[in-house]
Structure 1
Amino acid sequence: MTRTFFEPDETEEYEAAADLLTRRCLAWAGERDLPADSVVLAAALESRHRSRDGRLAHWDREQVRRFLLVWTPHYVVAPRDVLDAAPESLRTLLRYLDASGLWDPRGAPVAELSDAVTAAEYAAALDDPLRQSVAKFWARIALDRGVDFDDRRALEKFQRDIDAGRVPYDAEVLDQLMMARLTEPELDEERAYAQPPIALPPAAELAEAAAQSVLVRQLAAVAEWAGAEGRPLTAEGLPRRPDARELAALLETGEDDLRVAEMRQVNRMLTWAKKARLIRTSKGQVFRGAKAAPILRDPEALWSRAFEVFFELGGTIGAPPTSWYSASVLVSAFDEILPDVLNSMYGLPSPVPVVRLQESVWLACKEHFQFDDWGLREQGWRLQVDQDLLAALEALAVLGAVELSHGAADELYSSDLDDEEQPLGPAAAERLRARLRDPDLLLARLTPLGLRATRERMLAEGRDAPLIGELATAPPAELLGLLAQHYPPEAAAVELAGWLAVPGQDVERLLRAVRDCPFRTRATAMLGTMTEALPDGLSIIRGLRDDPVLGPIALSALLDGEDIQPESLSDRERLLLLAEELLVLLELGGPEAVLDEVTEAAGKDTREVIEAALSSGHPDVAGLEELGALLPRLTRAHHPLRLVAGNAPGSRGRRGGHGKKRRH
């Protein structure tokens, strides 16, 4: 389909889609006299493809700023007038995505993005020589000297001129760029795993759950204990023993008889409250935060802030260092590894065995530190990491973000252990198999509050984390496009049912959106997703056989499902299916794929096949225009005998091939 999301290794599929979107956007812009440059359009799509979420049609202010202020100065090589007009070209692309039904409604509205970057900001970014890459540094010099990038000899001469010192350049800037390349991260963002759609309870239930959180009540108690008058602290920054015992009793930690330094739960809560800005220290005393009152009156906001700062608490959650062991390696990477733990639990259909999490966390710790020789201490360090992970999960359970239980593990968590490519390794896999047979394992799962909070963190990182119900009022074209690409069938059916439950939203609106879709492959996917999710989907497909726009798609679906037989097709339907097949191939593979495939299949009749498709009456006017544009190329490259009628001198020409191959 004309997708707007591709995995990083789907290079050919992405390039074909990006080429198609660029061609269609340029044509659309030309019809409306809007500014658009192919280099800028392709670069904008590339910036989204090489991002954390990879959604080409999902744009917000941050993504616009990333493209114009970071990506373009760093990568895009073009004449200055083209670069100066890049914001206008980007605006045209965004308008085209919106007008063609490709826009992701979970991004910002197009109208809100026009002022994401000011003209002054953009000009300053372009003029900053240190924002460019080393490759762009040399490409700009070559461009200024008139070097043709498609001329190999010209490029080789340019390189010789550089080596001979005949090309002037700013050596200081080049040195700084070389250093930046070694020390600064690449602009390509590591692609995050796609997350499954989740469902959450109503907002009122989540607010009530936050109010019932044990830790929320404890944090409020800490703030109340500190008070506006404050409590004195020792030289070590700890409460005095009577105050600490009073707080231990309030929190019911059972630490009343311990020394203050040994009251780990009390000290953890003090640290947690301080990180959450509920208390503050000043001049040897601890006070309730001056601005803490509003959040203390809002349990849900307090819960969210407590979750946000949890990842800064590794030192108070992990076991303290001893004379034999230093602080746990998990504590040292707590703020990096614990979010990954919650991400791995997100959206799973059943509770996760904690032993499975411990194996993965230990592997992450070893990769994080990469010790050449762990030596005799490895077993002790491993035990410490296991215990610290358990302590972290228990703290999250007190907060109400994680639910801990006991029981047998779902087969899901052992099903991949026989896979040769699983990352744990043979020894860990064998150890896990044995441990997962225990019928009374400790299990963990995210609560609804934990799911919502983890999702919010993912969204803040630019990740895609669908939520059932968030598309309830989305435009029908955008709804079906997202369901087709990002939702499994069961979740798509639930989301679609919710959309149809909104007054004024019905099946006819969905069908109208499919008819209006300018891409055959996308329209096919949209219609397939819709009819698969509806109980009467097959009857809808049957009723579309003679539809002037959707007929070819319906015919293809009915043939694939063996609901009709090929011999029952009329000549007109056969031509429509031929055109549909070629247009789909054009969208998926580009013009070269059509020329190669049709020539291989039809040989000398290639021209007649394409002309038959063009005369079919197929409704995709834009696609037929692109298909018709292949005929002159076909004549020149594939059938040189037809260049000149008869056998006049020179009419045979040179033997042609299948045309220039696509570069991937």
Structure 2
Amino acid sequence: MNGDDHPTLPPLRLPPEAELARAALASPLLVRAVSLARWAKGGIRVGAGGELLGDQLLSAAEHLGLEGEDARALAAEAWNIAVDVDLVDIVEDEPAEDYGPMPDADEAVALATPGEELEAFDTSGPSDVLAVWEGVFGVMVGDAAMPNMEDLLEELTGGEGGFDPQNPDSAELDWDPQAEADLLDSALANLYVLTASENLMGEDPAPPIPLPVLASSLAVPEDVEEPTEEMLAEVSAVMMRLDDQFRILEPTGAVEYRPIDEELLVEAGEEDWAGSADPDSPDEDEDVSRYGVVRLTPLGQYGVRQLMEDEGVHAPLVGELSGLEAQELFGEIADHYPEPAALAELTEWIAVREPLAAVRELLAAARGEDELAPWRRLLCQQILAAAGQEVEPALREVLEDEQLGGLARVWLAEHGADDVPPPSEDMVFWLTVDTFAAQLVGELTEEQSLEVQELMRGLVDQHSGFFERVWRVPHPATAEVLEAMGRLHPDRQAAKEARKAAHRARSLG
């Protein structure tokens, strides 16, 4: 949560707008919708809702080069999208004009012509292309949350308690439209979170997520170690619903999706399907991708981010803080930026400045005795590791600084300087406490706790009388660091000594 208590998604790095627009222009559904909008040049008589009539669907499918049993359905989908996002305008028919062969005269009561959005689409830049694509994506997200009409009809007409035409209220549908929409919104948000950190430093795109893993994140509470049979059944039900939804979204270019292998359902049978979908215990020799895998594309990340922002969720982009001063920058990233995102933001911040001046400003902002000051200094040390020799003067200027001298010596030594004055013992222990304090900012993950434990063990083993020396260090976080050592150190005797040292450090305050 950020400072104004609005939900916050992890920071994301998006490709340039032009690259996203090229991806949008290559998305199958938008390609078909634009093609049919151009096909309507000269006017086409359609139904009152803008729907194609009679053989028009066949003509539309032929225009798109579609064949097979799904050709008409795909053509209808593309045409409806073109109407929904105003690539096609629908106006009342004007019988006096000749707009070609008329379908059933009782049905053809409107006229379809290319809309203003098509003209803007053809003549404008990347932002306008993306605006049209956003409309397509939004419509399809809404469609994906709707039930499958064949299943709905079967539920209405089949079995005990089915639909009675004489009594429309007799049908009890097991479908909650809000729940369906919430499921898809949550799935897209989880995909966003799972993939946002993968390309922060410009690396390869995020790997695809197995569908059982995504479904489990939606159906099984985080604090549950062993899912119950009921939970596994819910995971399976969520998987089947997501399978339908991602099939619908794939033509938008927002997701890359490999559907569930239908042979699995035949092999397992409906009753055994729940157990087979356990995300934590697949068969060793089984191809997990048979259960479905999905990846949110960069275009999909863009689309989900727009949807979340429209709903009041804060979804920061890497680089959007580059105009801030260093002190403000640290304040912003401290709130909801995990370390990889913070480093990516700092990299962008330095990239738009003269390096030497930028490093001087960062070092000045890293000073302080507040709770976050050790974290700021650690980030500086990490981000400066990749800096070039042109920033060396800034590091030499702080060699004798009590708070920055240690990290300056580390940088100079790592960059081959041979005239670095050795640190005093006081500086070594102060830097040790400062480094530990930085690690303790925020809640440690299990992996981070293990890393801190190993660091503690190494330091205590390396320095005789470590705790006797450390408790005297005049650092604001000395007692807190020693208390953490008392909790986390794997050796019971060392942990006991740490707690005693923490008590003595507290007595100095």
The bucket for the TM-score relative to the shorter chain is 0.5 to 0.7
Q: Which of the numbers 293, 301, 304 marks the counterpart of 1:443?
A: 293
**Partner amino acid, structure 2, of 1:242:** D
Match of 1:287 in 2: 112
Give the deviation of 1:359 after TM superposition: 5.8
Assess, with a 3 A threshold, how the Cα gap between structure 1 residues 433 and 352 changes in structure 2: closer, same or farther: same
SS in 2 for 1:267: helix
User: Which whole-Å CA distance do the structure 2 matches of 1:197 and 1:500 have between them?
Assistant: 18
What's the secondary structure of 1:471's corresponding residue? coil
Q: Matched residues in 2 for 1:458 and 1:277: separation? A: 23
Superposition map of 1:386-465 within 5 A: 389-405=242-258, 430=278, 433-434=281-282, 437-441=286-290, 442-465=292-315
| 2:431 aligned residue | 557
CA–CA separation in structure 1 for the residues paired with 2:349 and 2:428: 23
What secondary structure, in the 3-state scheme, does the structure 2 residue paired with 1:434 have? coil
Q: Is the 8 A contact 2:187 2:218 kept in 1?
A: yes
- Contact kept, 8 Å, 1:493 with 1:533, in 2: the verdict is yes
Instruction: Show the counterpart of 2:191.
Output: 345
Once the two structures are superposed, what CA deviation does each residue of 1:569-595 show, in whole Å capped at 9, x if it has no partner? 9x9x95733x6658999xxxxxxxxxx
Between stretches 433-442 and 209-218, larger displacement belongs to: 433-442
- 1:170-569 equivalences under 5 Å are 192=7, 195-227=9-41, 229-233=43-47, 238-254=51-67, 263-283=72-92, 284-288=109-113, 290-297=115-122, 298-314=128-144, 318-321=148-151, 323-326=153-156, 329=175, 333-346=179-192, 347-348=194-195, 349-357=206-214, 389-405=242-258, 430=278, 433-434=281-282, 437-441=286-290, 442-505=292-355, 506-515=358-367, 520-535=370-385, 546-547=400-401, 556-559=430-433, 560=436, 562=459
CA contact (8 A) 2:430 2:473 kept: no
Q: Give, in whole Å, the separation in 2 of the partners of 1:277 and 1:334.
A: 26
1:585-635 Cα offsets, whole Å, 9 max, x none, are 9xxxxxxxxxxx99x9579x96xx45xxxxxxxxxxxxxxxxxxxxxxxxx
Separation of aligned partners in 1, 2:174 and 2:64: 27
Tell whether the 8 Å contact from 1:397 to 1:404 is kept in structure 2 after alignment. Answer: yes
Which letter maps to 2:132? Answer: L
| TM-score calculated relative to the size of structure 1 | 0.46
For 1:512, the aligned partner's letter is: A
Distance 1:497 1:454, change over 3 A: same
SS in 2 for 1:403: strand
Residue 224 (structure 2) aligns with? none
Structure 2 counterpart SS, 1:503: coil
Per-residue deviation at 1:446? Answer: 0.9
Aligned-partner SS, 2:257: strand
Mapped partners of 2:19, 2:144: distance in 1: 30
CA distance in 1, matches of 2:70, 2:315: 47
Q: Distance in 1 between matches of 2:359 and 2:70?
A: 69
Conservation of the 8 A alpha-carbon contact between 1:330 and 1:385 = no
Q: Provide closer, same or farther for how the CA distance between residues 217 and 435 of structure 1 changes in structure 2, counting only shifts above 3 A.
A: farther
CA-CA distance at 1:396 after TM superposition: 2.2
Alpha-carbon shift at residue 404 of structure 1 (Å) = 2.4
8 Å CA contact 2:32, 2:64 repeated in 1: yes
| 1:438 to partner: Cα distance | 2.3
Change (3 A) 1:330 1:252: farther
The structural deviation recorded for 1:254 is 2.9
C-alpha spacing 1:526/1:602, structure 2 compared with 1 (3 Å): closer
- Take 1:451 and 1:407, find their aligned partners in 2: how far apart are those partners? 23
- Cα deviation, residue 455, structure 1: 1.9
- Residue 402 (structure 1) shift: 0.8
Between the aligned partners of 1:315 and 1:465, the Cα distance in structure 2 is: 23
Deviations 1:50-103 (A, max 9, x none): xxxx312x6xxxxxxxxxxxxxxxxxxxxxxxxxxxxxxxxxxxxxxxxxxxxx
Which whole-Å CA distance do the structure 1 matches of 2:465 and 2:474 have between them? 15
**Is the alpha carbon distance of 1:266 and 1:328 closer, same or farther for their aligned partners in structure 2, counting shifts above 3 Å?**
farther
SS in 2 for 1:204: helix
- SS in structure 1 of the partner of residue 371 of structure 2: helix
Q: Are the counterparts in 1 of residues 253 and 299 from structure 2 also a CA contact under 8 Å?
A: yes
Report deviation, 1:287: 1.9
Q: 1:210 to 1:328 in 2, by over 3 A?
A: farther
Q: Residues 323, 532 of structure 1: CA spacing in aligned structure 2 closer, same or farther, 3 A cutoff?
A: closer
Aligned to 1:524, what secondary structure does the other structure show? helix
The answer to whether the Cα contact below 8 Å between 1:207 and 1:299 also exists between their aligned partners in 2 is yes
CA–CA separation in structure 2 for the residues paired with 1:212 and 1:344? 25
- Distance, in Å, in 2 between the alignment partners of 1:489 and 1:450 is 24
Contact map agreement 2:34 2:118 (CA 8 A) in 1: no
Q: Deviations over 1:411-446 (max 9, x none)?
A: xxxxxxxxxxxxxxx958747633794254232101
Q: Could you tell me the TM-score, scaled by structure 2's length?
A: 0.58
Aligned-residue CA RMSD (Å): 4.9
- Residue 448 of structure 1 and its aligned partner are, at CA, apart by 0.9
Q: Which residue of 2 aligns with 1:29?
A: none
2:216/2:235 contact within 8 Å kept: no
CA gap of 1:328–1:528, structure 2 versus 1, over 3 A, is same
Q: CA 1:455/1:484 → structure 2, altered by over 3 Å: closer, same or farther? A: same
Equivalent position amino acid for 2:373 in 1: A
Distance 1:230 1:317, change over 3 A: farther
Tell me the amino acid that sits aligned with residue 248 of structure 2.
Answer: A
CA shift in 2, pair 1:385/1:289, >3 Å: farther
Judge conservation of contact 2:219–2:238 (CA < 8 Å) in 1. Answer: yes
Q: Do the aligned partners of residues 478 and 499 (structure 1) sit closer, same or farther apart at CA in structure 2, a change above 3 Å counting? A: same
Taking the aligned partners of 1:291 and 1:493, their CA distance within structure 2 comes to 44
Please tell me whether the aligned partners of residues 249 and 256 of structure 1 are also in contact (alpha carbons under 8 angstroms): no
Contact 1:211–1:299 (8 Å) recurs in 2: yes
Letter of the 1:351 partner, please give it.
Answer: P
- Which residue does the alignment assign to 2:440? none
